[in-house]
């Protein structure tokens, strides 16, 4: 109860805040602002790096998708593991398909050879 009365007297007192209390509150605000600015700058640099990586990947995928990168002939081996598939027979469970493989430094893709 005494603590509450003392706090109320302080708020009602015409003396106001002391210089030390004012300086402490300004320091707390300044430190908070500095931390927020630092986090804002870090998030900006992370976003910039992610955007550059996304652009590079998009360009690589577009290049390979347009079949503009290097290419070579290859074979894809497949295996069917679904015994409940219609028309399943053990002879049809594996196979190979001739493909054209397109690639660059980042990605690769293939399509069935004509």
Q: How many domains does the chain have?
A: 1
Evaluate whether residue 7 is within a structural domain. no
- At 72-82, the pLDDT tens digits run 888 888 777 76
Does residue 10 lie within any of the structural domains? no
| 3-class SS of residue 108 | strand
pLDDT tens, residue by residue, 33-55: 999 999 999 999 999 999 999 99
- Would you say residue 61 lies in a domain? yes
b/e string for 86-99 if b means 16 or more Cβ within 10 A? eeeeeeeeeeeeeb
Using a cut of 0.75, tell me whether the model's pTM lies above it: no
Per-residue confidence (pLDDT) for residue 41, from 0 to 100 = 96
Query: Residue 78: which of 98, 94, 99, 101 has the closest Cα?
Result: 94
- Residue 104 covered by a domain: yes
How many residues are listed for the chain in this entry? Answer: 114
Quick one: pLDDT band at residue 63, thresholds 50, 70, 90? confident
Does residue 98 lie in a domain region?
A: yes
Asked if residue 48 belongs to a domain, the reply is: yes
Q: Determine, yes or no, domain membership for 8.
A: no
Rounded to whole angstroms, the Cα distance separating 80 from 88 reads 9
The residue range of the domain holding 91 is: 16-112
pLDDT value at 69 more than 90: no
Report the distance separating Cα 80 and Cα 90, nearest Å. 9
91 domain-assigned: yes
């Amino acid at each position: 109860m005494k603590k509450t009365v003392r706090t109320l007297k302080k708020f009602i007192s015409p003396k106001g805040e002391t210089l030390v209390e004012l300086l402490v509150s300004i320091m707390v605000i300044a430190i908070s602002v500095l931390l927020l600015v630092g986090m804002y700058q870090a998030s900006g640099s992370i976003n910039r790096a992610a955007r550059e990586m996304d652009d590079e990947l998009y360009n690589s995928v577009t290049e390979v998708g347009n079949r503009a990168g290097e290419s070579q002939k290859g074979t894809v081996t497949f295996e069917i593991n679904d015994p409940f598939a219609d028309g399943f027979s053990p002879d049809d469970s594996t196979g190979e398909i001739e493909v054209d493989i397109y690639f660059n430094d980042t990605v690769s893709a293939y399509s069935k050879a004509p």
